[in-house]
Amino acid sequence: VPSSPPPENGLKKTGASRCQRRGTSSKKGRASALRAAFSAFVKAREVPAGAAGAVWWRCCRQTFRERGGIHRHVGTQHGAELRPPPRGHGHGHGHGQGQGEAHRGAAGRERGAEVCDELPDTRHLGPGELESKAGEVLLYYCYCEVRDPEKLCAWQKALCEHLHLTGKVRVASEGINGTVGGSKAATSLYIEVMLSQPLFKDILCQDDFKRSAGGAHCFPDLRVGVFKEIVPMGIDPKKVSYKETGIHLSPQEFHREVEQYLSQASQGQSDTILLDCRNFYESKIGHFQGCLAPDIRKFSYFPSYVDENLELFKNKRVLMYCTGGIRCERGSAYLRSKAVCKEVYQLKGGIHKYLEEFPDGFYRGKLFVFDDRFSICSNEDVISACRYCGTLWDQYKLCSSQHCRQLVLTCPSCRKKGLTACCPVCQEKELEATSGASGQTLKEECECTKRRPRVPELRVILCLVLSVPDAAECTGRFY
């Protein structure tokens, strides 16, 4: 007797099972291909470390000293590049096509992607959300090849105006550098749009934006422009490129390095220099313990300072830091170009990111910022003094003399006495102006400027590391 055919639902179940098995097998295959691509990508970025046989990893102008760090970076920044295409996509070339996409993605970052000039839809936001006074200030930068700086500049201006943001944005063929303030709704949307911009999509991430309390009121207006450099060092970016930067250290790694440096320095055994890349008025109100702070008025003096002090850096390990990390990018590249240091490291994300993780760490005092707040605070230390009476004071005001406008530390008591200028020359000019002799102009150069050489002497900040008797025997200027 012939057997009866299986029930129809049995056929369906069997077919479904086969499809499930094929789907599971396909998923496993894609997962295996992804793991292989991930491993190959990480392996290709290995560089020899200091210790024999040890390796670090270098990717996206960053150096990773721990395997977990490079894995997190590749997973978050390069995951889309490594993911194999769906089965059948690319005429059956599967895994090979995926690798090709990864290579093209890397090449695209070097060539520079097109600028998308679309503006975000803000209709979902409530009335006044974009113009709320309570907000924040963003600080960020991105080094990348920009083929059309003018177009990027126009888009940035339109975007910031659309979101009611104020601040300063510098655009160049080497990238973008910005600090903008506005409502939290506006800054959040700004970050979202920046991360989706094809030009920055594979480079910028959420962590690259440093946030602090503030708003649109922290800036007088919006200024967006095209420049030769996104941070003015005064050297052609083609001669000293951000691509030759030092080794990036996370805040945790930098903290450990500073801890080790201070321990060794207290015993006179350190071969490390902790270098502050900022201007003198920035380090004056806040700095890392035991740092070397060049007495420079602007970053374009930094190369001259390095040239005049090459012996100081000879055979030294240099730990560099600045506000948000951008000055260290090319500052470390310039120092490395002199080929005198053992190694050059820099704090990734700058002091801003360090203070987020170590508010009571080795950085003491306030962090100077380039907006109407002048500084932001993470600890209660006051490490600077009033210019006139010497009492502890760290809140900057602009010099009251209209021809000068330099920053001055003058306490409330001295300000009540009329001491509101940065030096006696400026104070005299201010008195001349207020007494009605506005037609007379004093020709003297401001005392602060006159006494400050273009390439100043070395200044070392050691008061928080050394005891007073030890400090008295050292040369230099102490706080």
Please check whether residues 195 and 248 belong to one and the same domain. no
Query: Does 70 have pLDDT greater than 90?
Result: no
Summarize the confidence of residues 345-370 as an average pLDDT. 96
Residue 382, class by beta-carbon neighbours within 10 Å (0-12 exposed, 13-18 middle, 19+ buried)? middle
What is the predicted pLDDT for the residue at 15?
A: 53
Which DSSP state fits 45? T
Instruction: Indicate whether 434 belongs to any domain.
Output: no
Query: Does 304 have pLDDT greater than 60?
Result: yes
Instruction: Indicate whether 150 belongs to any domain.
Output: yes
Name the least confident of 11-20, 87-96, 221-230: 87-96
Name the least confident of 108-112, 269-273, 332-336: 108-112
Read off the pLDDT of residues 6-57 as tens digits, 9 standing for 90 and up.
Answer: 444 444 445 555 555 555 666 677 777 778 788 888 887 887 776 666 788 8
What is the predicted pLDDT for the residue at 293?
A: 95
CATH code at 312?
3.40.250.10
**Cα–Cα distances in angstroms (integers) from residue 309 to residues 129, 278, 282, in the given order:** 51, 16, 21
What is the predicted pLDDT for the residue at 157?
A: 97
What is the predicted pLDDT for the residue at 361?
A: 95
Rounded to two decimals, the pTM is 0.73
Please check whether residues 197 and 319 belong to one and the same domain. no
Domain holding 162, by residue range, is 135-226
Instruction: Indicate whether 60 belongs to any domain.
Output: no
What is the predicted pLDDT for the residue at 10?
A: 46
Q: Can you tell me the distance from the alpha carbon of 369 to that of 360, in angstroms, rounded to the nearest whole number?
A: 19
What is the predicted pLDDT for the residue at 85?
A: 53
Name the least confident of 173-182, 198-207, 349-358, 424-433: 424-433
Sort strands 363-365 and 286-288 into parallel, antiparallel or unpaired: antiparallel
HSE, CB side, 13 Å, CA atoms: give it for residue 253.
Answer: 18
CATH code at 147?
3.30.70.100
Residues known to be catalytic: 322
Point out the domain boundary residue: 166, 194, 226: 226
**Cα–Cα distances in angstroms (integers) from residue 343 to residues 186, 254, 255, 314, 333, in the given order:** 41, 14, 17, 10, 11
What is the predicted pLDDT for the residue at 74?
A: 80
Q: Can you tell me the distance from the alpha carbon of 265 to that of 269, in angstroms, rounded to the nearest whole number?
A: 6
pLDDT band at 115 (very low <50, low <70, confident <90, very high): confident
Strand partners, 177: 141, 170
Instruction: Indicate whether 114 belongs to any domain.
Output: no
What is the predicted pLDDT for the residue at 307?
A: 95
DSSP 217-236: GGSSSEEEEE-S-SS--SS-
What is the predicted pLDDT for the residue at 27?
A: 66
> Which backbone phi and psi does 407 adopt, to 5 degrees?
-80, 140
Please check whether residues 256 and 312 belong to one and the same domain. yes
Query: Does 100 have pLDDT greater than 60?
Result: no
Total domains in the fold of the chain = 2
Instruction: Indicate whether 303 belongs to any domain.
Output: yes
What is the predicted pLDDT for the residue at 467?
A: 36
Q: Are 149 and 172 in contact (CB under 8 A)?
A: yes
Please check whether residues 361 and 324 belong to one and the same domain. yes
Read off the pLDDT of residues 409-444 as tens digits, 9 standing for 90 and up.
Answer: 999 999 999 999 988 888 887 777 666 554 454 555
What is the predicted pLDDT for the residue at 36?
A: 79
